[in-house]
Amino acid sequence: MTRTIDGNEIADGISADVKASVETLRDADVQPGLATVLMSDDGASETYVSMKQRACEELGIEGSHVEIDPDEPAAVLFDRIDELNGDPSVHGILVQMPVPDHVDKRTVLERIDPTKDVDGFHPENVGRLVAGNARYKPCTPHGVQQILAAEGIETEGKDAVVVGRSDIVGKPMANLFVQYGDGGNATTTVCHSRTEDLATKTRQADILVAAAGVPEMIDGEMIKAGATVIDVGVNRVDTDTDKGYELVGDVEFESAKETASAITPVPGGVGPLTIAMLMYNTVKAASLQSG
């Protein structure tokens, strides 16, 4: 029987621990604070940011939100980041990606104080992660590690295949898998848009992480019998429904379920973990900054 992994349940367990840590910090007169910044009118980005703010509210983290018109010059965003860097009540800063084309993404990421970079995207934090000395593990790949741990799925010595090489998921995921220690020690392959004969590679995976952003690109035939399949994709596909779209992953769930031993659904799989790990990083930031 294939197990459908309940990401909400795993995230709830982590959130309960984070909430307890928030209370301990508050007892010591430290109120953890997270600032989100949105410079976009993309509906999905708006939804993600409001989910992050709601999670703050639920866990006792002080959430603040900055919205910048996407037509404004980049300098407006940079000035706001500078203000947040200098605000001691803000321990974590998250600029929702993507930013508009006229704003250089790398400059944004480098502008955020690395001690407040709870996404873990600043080059200093990327370097620390690669060096095996992470300060903030990027939320989605860290969430995938939490799923595997909660499900008792060992990574050591296993073949892990990551499909997708984004800075947000694919690259840090692969880096975590190759690190020493729990959740690492995996033999790791990264596949991407230029990979030849993708199916041969994905069929080698004991643990397959799909993070390419292509709707249902992985089907059951591309999966080794008994593999664990983690679907990071969240793709809006147009439908005739009232909402006008439905969310589908990078994995064709129905056929994948026939081959995999465990699989995350979309929605309700990795998504809740991304938010829980952001809250975790925010508490860690507050702790580091008050220590």
Give the C-alpha separation, 228 to 145, whole Å.
12
Tell me if 161 is assigned to a ligand binding site. no
State the catalytic residue, choosing from 52, 116, 201, 284: 52
* Alpha carbon 64 to its chain's center: 20
Query: Under a CB-based contact definition with an 8 Å cutoff, are residues 160 and 186 in contact?
Result: yes
In the complex, residue closest to ligand GUN by CB = 97
User: At closest approach, how far in Å is the CB of 80 from ligand GUN?
Assistant: 14
139 or 263: whose CB is closer to ligand GUN?
139
User: At closest approach, how far in Å is the CB of 278 from ligand GUN?
Assistant: 7
Tell me if 166 is assigned to a ligand binding site. yes
User: At closest approach, how far in Å is the CB of 94 from ligand GUN?
Assistant: 5
Query: Under a CB-based contact definition with an 8 Å cutoff, are residues 218 and 208 in contact?
Result: yes
Q: At 189, list the tokens.
A: 């392959």
Q: Is 52 a catalytic residue?
A: yes
User: At closest approach, how far in Å is the CB of 97 from ligand GUN?
Assistant: 4
User: At closest approach, how far in Å is the CB of 23 from ligand GUN?
Assistant: 26
β-pairing verdict for 159-163 and 207-210: parallel
- Dihedral sign from CA coordinates of 270, 276, 280, 285: positive
Give the C-alpha separation, 117 to 109, whole Å.
8
Give the C-alpha separation, 37 to 35, whole Å.
7
175 or 259: whose CB is closer to ligand GUN?
175
Q: Write down the H helix ranges in 182-270.
A: 198-202, 253-259
Residue ranges binding ligand GUN (CB under 6 A): 94-97, 119, 139-140, 168, 274
Give the C-alpha separation, 196 to 180, whole Å.
29
137 or 201: whose CB is closer to ligand GUN?
137
Residues near 178 by beta carbon (within 8 Å), at least 6 away in sequence: 184, 186, 188
Tell me if 7 is assigned to a ligand binding site. no
205 or 230: whose CB is closer to ligand GUN?
230
Q: Is 96 a catalytic residue?
A: yes
42 or 69: whose CB is closer to ligand GUN?
42
Q: Is 145 a catalytic residue?
A: no
User: At closest approach, how far in Å is the CB of 82 from ligand GUN?
Assistant: 18
State the catalytic residue, choosing from 116, 117, 119, 206: 119
Nearest residue to 118 (alpha-carbon basis) of 218, 43, 5, 34: 34
Give the C-alpha separation, 270 to 6, whole Å.
9
Residues near 120 by beta carbon (within 8 Å), at least 6 away in sequence: 126, 129, 134, 135, 136, 137, 138, 139, 172, 281
140 or 259: whose CB is closer to ligand GUN?
140
Q: Which residues are annotated as a binding site for NADP(+)?
A: 164-166, 234
Q: Which residues are annotated as a binding site?
A: 164-166, 234
Residues with catalytic annotation?
Answer: 52, 96, 119
